[in-house]
Amino acid sequence: MTDWFEEKLEEKLGRIIKVQVRRKIVSHRSRYQKIEIFDTVPFGRMLVHDDVIMLTEFDEANYHEMIAHVPLHVHPDPENVLIIGGGDGGTLREVLKHAGVRKVDLCEIDRDVVDLCKTHLPSLSGGYTDPRVDVFYEDGARFVAERKDRYQIILVDSSDPIGPAEVLFQESFYRDMHAALTRDGIVATQSESFLYHGDIIKKIARFSREIFPVYAYYHTQVPTYPSGTIGFSFCSKRYHPLEDIRENVGLAADRLTFYSNAVHRAAFVLPPFFERLLAK
């Protein structure tokens, strides 16, 4: 008998995601959410929170490389980096590929996510042993609000804007991130799909432009996410994501799966209907 996992987050809109699974590796109820890891037929291991797909081994690099390497290829000296969320370790893995990074703080509200991914998703979570890394199990919004003028880069690797992650899509959080950055810092945040979630992105764009001198939306392809596309808000105090891109930061091409300078540039090209939406 075939087993299937069905993500029904958008079932009311007539959309579900269905993935064939070989077996359920782990099912655990943490203080904050249900955490499951499956062995799937087409996509390798798959991490699920509260019945919503967080990542699969098949396409996780498309997301993690783009949230990390785009800002890290723009800032000229990204020594101190903060990751909000990202307990699976994928974004951390990519940040640590940059030799110039001296310190990474990772703030994840759910310790159980980190522990389970260390055990069952080692291809993502190996960075936790790096001496440059400090992990804080705290609320990300509160963590940011308590730190000023500290980070060159802040990456918000969040889930969808429901439940504990909802605050990470609010204007007050972006203002606190602005204060936590150094004078030339950059933020990159998970910002949903331009194909499905235009209203959310438009709201983020509106207040981001009021807070940061430089704002842009860019996107990547992740087949196991709704619409197959996910995007990011690039918010910067000084540097432009295209005018200030660095061509060579010492990363060997064989260490990357999805990111390149060419892909970086292309990610900021938006279809006309969405450009019109953001311009309103």
Q: Kindly list the catalytic residues.
A: 157
- Contact between 121 and 113 under an 8 Å Cβ cutoff? The reply is no
- How far CA 219 is from CA of 93, 159, 191, 271, in Å, comes to 20, 16, 9, 11
Residue 211 burial (CB count, 10 A) = 16
Q: Which long-range contacts (CB under 8 A, 24 or more apart) does 144-148 make?
A: 144/82, 144/84, 144/107, 144/173, 144/176, 144/177, 144/180, 145/176, 145/180, 147/82, 147/180, 148/179, 148/180
Burial class (CB in 10 A: 0-12, 13-18, 19+), 162: exposed
Q: Residue 232: what residue type?
A: F
Distance CA 152, CA 236 (A): 10
The tokens 């967080």 sit on which residue? 54
- How far CA 249 is from CA of 28, 30, 122, 127, in Å, comes to 40, 39, 26, 19
Tokens found for residue 230: 């996910």
